[in-house]
Structure 1
Amino acid sequence: MEEIPNHHLIVITKETVKKVREQSGISDVQRIRQSVDIVEEWLKKQDHLAEATNYLNRNLIERVYLIAQGSIEATKRRMERLLTSRGMMPELVLNRSVEEFETLWEVVNYVPLPQLHPTDMSRVMVTQFLTGKLEPFSILSYFRYCFLIGEYRISFDYTPSERYVIDLTNIHLGLLSKLNPIVVKKAEVLCTEGIGTKIKGIHILNAPPFVDKLVFLLKQALREKVANRVHVHSTYEDLHKHIPKEMLPKDYGGDEPSIAKLSEQWKEHLKTDEAKRLIQGTEKLVSDESKRQSSKFNEEYMGMPGSFRKLTVD
């Protein structure tokens, strides 16, 4: 990354870039630039990936390179897997528009917090349910919005990992019927096996009395390593042991603006022409399976959307 991306809702500094690179074991800027060049040229020479490279942001390649801890070959595999898996799960990431989420916004807020976690450099994503009227809520629509935010953010963010805070205020037993384990599983796989994002923690706040049932269903849909990182916090002070209050919104005893304010800022920005252009570009980030050797596809990806047996978590 030649320049630090600038975005008014995502704080990235020279110091955070340095820390992220150090955590990945890479600090040589020239090495990073040359490695990204190599991966970019390789992608252009793959018949089934060449068209997608016209819409790739180099920051995406660099982020995957960091996740792969400086391995060029691992970066190639991850990039190929990302473009393939997106095409295999179009219901999660394709044919989207910002306008389709107007109904979802009435039920839930989903926002990235501005500051990176000072210890592990993860981006903290907050889900906040706004009402007990869950009829308009769709788990598929929710994940489509999550991936839209995440893919848009790639152009500006600089982190290999994420944490998720889920505020269950206003939630009742009816939420359980909304949780489709297959959709949850696909979302996790696309997150961890597509781009390769490392999930550092899932933190549940303001849990209802039936939280054990909810956590059980959630863990059934997640792989063991991720499931073991699910935490239920009885107080905000307990949350502060994992996420410093300085980076949390004031809703949770922190110092940052409220989730409502951050959410409105994101909604307004996503409706701008610039944001819509970037979002539209992500629609092209898929492999062209008509140009791939079928034998290789069968070996690597058969069963991916269903059983996920061949996939692993970092």
Structure 2
Amino acid sequence: MDAIQVTNDEIVKVRKHFKVKEDDIKRDVKIIIEWLKQQQHLPKIDDENFIERCLLRNKFRVEQTKQKLDGYCTLRGVHLNMFEDWKSIIPSRELTITLPLPKLTPTLERVIIWKLRSSDPNDYDIVSIVKYNLLLFEILIRNDYAVGDRFVADFTGHTAATIARNNPLIISKFLSLYQGAYSGRFVGCDFINAPPFINLLLSILKKLLPSKLYGRIRIHKDLKSFHKVIPKECLPHDYGGDLDTVENLIAKWDKVFEHNQPVFEENLKIVSNENLRLGTNKPSDMFGVAGTFKQLNLD
């Protein structure tokens, strides 16, 4: 997969980072598959590749992975409206860029760039942005092999009007799905080209994010500072890096989305049947589906 690359050597290093061996992973995958078979409310999931990557995104902790697989089926079922019109999403035509970069960093992180294409606030649609991002994570959770996600928010073109269009409820739903359904491992977010009014967004995020995650946000005054965190060999040409341009890199994702159309269609059927769930717990009790991201277990 050209859009994101992971070498065999990097897979070995990621496993070493989490102190796990291949035999241990195979054993735990089988344990989880057997557990899934016993959950009446969950659909059949026997994709070993998918389950291994869920384990990875949960530090290879079996019980935590079980919870997140339940969350994957449950939260996506609760928020099916966030997956509407998925067939119309073409990455290179979206008015906001979300771009996972092809190379892992030396610390084995996947860098994901967020950037506007249009500074017109009328073009800024947070719901469309979230729908696009969720499809990306459907792909990443099945194909990536990184220790975590490092986001880069490029504020070029942002105005106070565009930032004001960030609906806290929609952002909170995305964060709940990212962490509760897609086992998101947020290792940090680097702000570049931040405007003077960035405090407006920070005030929103401070209310939504647990203090541990909020503390992982860094604001860079220039590229020199930015390159200390993410080296040039991992960055697009637009940011003084050695990779291709952002536009050329995002164009590769058009083919990825096209290739994954059947996968998206099948994946959206992988939801829980709450009528068959044993016990008295409801999805809202377990996952905070109303958007209360701070209630989720974080690591």
TM-score by shorter chain over 0.5: yes
Query: RMSD of aligned C-alpha atoms?
Result: 2.1
Give distance in 2, aligned partners of 1:220 and 1:167. Answer: 21
Question: Which letter does structure 2 place at the counterpart of 1:169?
Answer: T
Counterpart residue number, 2:157: 170
What does residue 224 of structure 2 align with? Answer: 237
Taking structure 1 as reference, are residues 309 and 116 closer, same or farther at Cα in structure 2, changes over 3 Å only? Answer: closer
CA distance 1:76–1:303, shift in 2 (3 Å) = closer
Pick aligned residue for 2:271 from 282, 286, 289: 286
Given that 2:151 and 2:190 are in contact with CA atoms closer than 8 Å, whether structure 1 keeps it comes out as yes
> Alpha-carbon deviations, 1:254-308, whole Å to 9, x = none?
111111111112123312xx31111112202211111112503379427432435
Distance 1:81 1:250 in 2: 38
Given that 2:209 and 2:293 are in contact with CA atoms closer than 8 Å, whether structure 1 keeps it comes out as no
Residue type of the partner of 1:95? E
Q: How far is 1:73 from its partner?
A: 2.5
Structure 2 residue 55 is the aligned partner of structure 1 residue 65: yes
The CA distance in 1 between the partners of 2:67 and 2:151, in whole Å, is 26
Structure 2 Cα separation of the partners of residues 231 and 181 of structure 1: 20
Aligned to 2:179: 192
Q: Would you say the 8 A contact 1:59–1:154 is kept in 2?
A: no
Mapped pair 1:19 → 2:13: yes
Q: Which runs of 5+ in 1 are unaligned?
A: 1-6
**What residue is the counterpart of 1:277 in the other structure?**
262
Distance 1:159 1:96 in 2: 29
TM-score by length of 2: 0.92
Give the whole-Å Cα distance in 1 for the aligned partners of 2:291 and 2:155: 29
249-258 vs 172-181, which moves further: 172-181
One-letter amino acid matched to 2:159: H
Identical positions, percent: 30
* In structure 2, C-alpha distance between the alignment counterparts of 1:114 and 1:65, rounded to whole Å: 22
- Length, aligned pairs only: 299
Q: For residues 97-125 of structure 1, what are the alpha-carbon distances to aligned partners after superposition, in whole Å with 9 as ceiling and x for unaligned?
A: 231458x9352221110011211x22111
Whether 2:28 is the aligned partner of 1:41: answer: no
Is 1:107 aligned with 2:107?
Answer: no
Whole-Å separation in 1 of the counterparts to 2:93 and 2:121: 12
For normalisation by structure 1, the TM-score amounts to: 0.88
**Contiguous gaps of at least 5 residues in structure 2:** none
Look up the SS of the partner of 2:143 in the other structure.
Answer: coil
1:265 pairs with one of 229, 240, 252? 252
Closer, same or farther in 2 for the Cα pair 1:160/1:84, shift >3 Å? farther
CA distance in 2, matches of 1:145, 1:230: 22
